[in-house]
Amino acid sequence: MQSRYDEHEAQNYRERYAAHGDDVALRVYTSRLIGAEPALVLHGGGNTSVKTTTRDLLGRTVEVLCVKGSGSDLALLEPDGLPAVRLAALRELQELPQLSDQHMVASVRLALLDPDAPMPSVETLLHAFLPHRFVDHTHADVLLALTNQSDGAQLVREALGADVPVLPWCMPGFPLAKAVAKAFLQQPDCRGIVLLKHGILTFGDTAKESYERMLALVSDAERFLAARGALRPAMLQATKATLAPLDRLALLAKTLPVLRGAVAMQGQEPWGMTWLRMLAESRSTDEVAAFASHLDARLLCAKNPITPDHVIRTKGRYLFLSRDEAVDPDASRRAIASYVADYKQYFVNAAPRGAGPMLRPMPVVFVIEGCGLVAFGPTRKAAQIAADIAEHTLRVKAQAQALGCYEALPDTDLAEMEYWPLELNKLGKQRPLQLAGQVALVTGAAGAIGVGITEALLQHGACVCLVDIDGERLGKVAQRFAAYRNQILAVTADLTDSDQVASAFSQCVSAFGGIDCVVPNAGIAHVSKLMDMDRKHFQQVFEVNATGTMLVLQAAARMFALQRSGGSVVVQASKNSFAPGYGFGAYSASKAAVLQLGRIAALELADLGVTVNMVNADAVFGDDDVPSQLWQQVGPDRMRARNLDAAGLREFYRQRSLLKTAVLPRHVGEAVVFFASGKVPTTGAVLPVDGGLPEAFPR
């Protein structure tokens, strides 16, 4: 591993963060260098610190420890992410024979210079008890391959030399801080300290020295593994049992909705039972697929993680499935049920006394024979984090197996970490949004109503696949939702083509794992009296509005049948279903057909626990950025007939409603959210969103 320390870049950091001083500026710089190396730390893992001085409110010079805040990401670290703690107050704690977690946290919090600063890392005392100005702590992959062995300590000594003490596993917090301080006192000239099945510490008088010591020791470990053929083991190289790349993608397209439906759980809410759904992230690189093809894959997946720091993100064990199990809803559910039973037993046998309640027992990571891995999370970011960790885990397990025999931390130690309150705090305690975990597919997403629906779904927590035939408009709409880029997918498709509809659903599944809410919203209009109606135009309107809706409902039904975890369909039917417009025969007739298709879908999908409801909107003009395409078509004719300009036409439609209100795209979006939330057991219903038009009352 090569050093990326650059004196010119270091000077840039000094200048950028001059207000915080050189020590903090360089601490931020090398922390980011470490955070940029996934083989060292992943997603909030590891921690760094610097001992420096600052002034308190009275202007006195105070020696402080600036240490990474708990759960912060080193790759994105800013000076504010290094809360300053009074060093003297922390070092006094070293004299104690023992210290509870509660008192440790309280002591660290009381020592903060700024009480509103982020909570310092749970390893704060470890950094404080070492004398060096700069301290780095990582979970380097190659060190974990060495230390997850029965003879891990001996292998580390052979790889790194006698000047690197090796400590047995010790619970983080005060016990580990005391153990590290003792090890350093016994060997004050050491280059670093290795913690078995946990990670490595380096230190120095400068940021560069500590950082480059870390890379030097990691490089020594890499050379040691390479010399024994374990750095790039055969287990990570494709064989005949490994599926070809396109075959992997095809298998995952079948697997994802099956597994996603199987890991969904039902929970109790005040209004009744509801589905708690997960989002999926899949990986099918050559390396992961090769691992999944190996005879040892199932055995290694069933073993605990490479470091207990990962357990809150991925659980301890992964679930290995054969290709047949992965695509068979019944077989996959049996395998998951067995995993859940094992996890419950693990909780009973290994969890600390008083731990609880039991965490979600479902597997988080699946490894699919010859194909790749699938990870789940309550948010897309959580799923991506789990997948990243899983990729590294499989690589390290393969390296460890090639070196000797992979041996992980025992269940009792792992469970202590998994249920440790200070570790669980890293996940946060925010209440999930109403549609968190849901995936919606919206057709006609580049139109005014489509934008309103998408906006509402995103703001209520759903991931959304935006589908439209107009790729240019769709791109602009996707840019409008750039703040939600991790929650959206834009797909161009002609809904009158069944293959393109299937492709849109498949792309949505590949991105998010499945689909829970389908909103057939696309539609076109044609203005013509019946006596003048052109047959081709009439058929085109029917083809897009009615046939397109039928094909979307068909694909949705197949998806819901695979997932077996309920869902919702919200059909945009239009007030013209009940109150047709003059010269609007093609549109009105096609929307009446759409309404009937929705009612039939309500009958047919009820057995799958899927609700199907209709929204009848009217006079939705959109805004200047995304105007209604329908009103762009019919508006000029309506304005001429009533001798109105554009503003007058909008006012006319506002005044004709009972509520005298303008109907906005977001109003339609909130109607969709209402049905998607599942808060009421309603299906086959029609909800007018038109301000109140008596002639369009459902009857």
**Same domain membership, residue 484 and residue 421:** no
% of the chain with per-residue pLDDT over 90: 85
**Same domain membership, residue 162 and residue 308:** no
> What pLDDT, in 10s, does the model give residues 491-527?
999 999 999 999 999 999 999 999 999 999 999 988 8
Alpha helices in 315-362 (DSSP H): 323-327, 329-350
**Same domain membership, residue 326 and residue 296:** yes
DSSP state of 569: E
| Cα–Cα distance for residue pair 454/476, rounded to 1 Å | 13
- Domain CATH for 295: 3.40.225
> What pLDDT, in 10s, does the model give residues 232-249?
999 999 999 999 999 999
Residue 557 lies in a domain: yes
| Domain termination site, one of 173, 193, 227 | 227
| Domain termination site, one of 168, 200, 227 | 227
- Domain CATH for 115: 3.40.225.10
**Same domain membership, residue 199 and residue 245:** no
Order of strands, edge to edge, in the sheet holding 567-572? 488-492, 463-468, 439-443, 517-519, 567-572, 610-617, 686-689
Q: Does the pLDDT at position 272 exceed 80?
A: no
Which tokens belong to 77?
Answer: 């670290």
**Same domain membership, residue 251 and residue 196:** no
The helix or strand, by DSSP H or E, that contains position 142, with its residue range, turns out to be helix 141-147
What pLDDT does 58 receive? 82
**Same domain membership, residue 384 and residue 411:** yes
> What pLDDT, in 10s, does the model give residues 99-130?
999 999 999 999 999 989 999 999 999 999 99
| Cα–Cα distance for residue pair 598/685, rounded to 1 Å | 9
**Same domain membership, residue 451 and residue 414:** no
* Residue-range definition of the domain harbouring residue 585: 439-620+664-690
Residue 698 lies in a domain: no
Which tokens belong to 122?
Answer: 């749970």
**Same domain membership, residue 166 and residue 143:** yes
Residue 642 lies in a domain: no
**Same domain membership, residue 448 and residue 414:** no
Neighbours of 218 (CB within 10 A): 23
What pLDDT does 600 receive? 98
**Considering the chain, what is the average pLDDT of its residues?**
94
The per-residue DSSP string of 80-95 comes to GGS-EEEHHHHHGGGG
Q: Is the pTM of this model over 0.85?
A: yes
Question: Which of 507, 526, 523, 524 is CA-nearest to residue 515?
Answer: 507
**Same domain membership, residue 543 and residue 445:** yes
How many domains does the chain contain in total?
Answer: 3
Ranking 87-91, 265-269, 668-672 by mean pLDDT, the lowest is 265-269
Amino acid found at 593: A
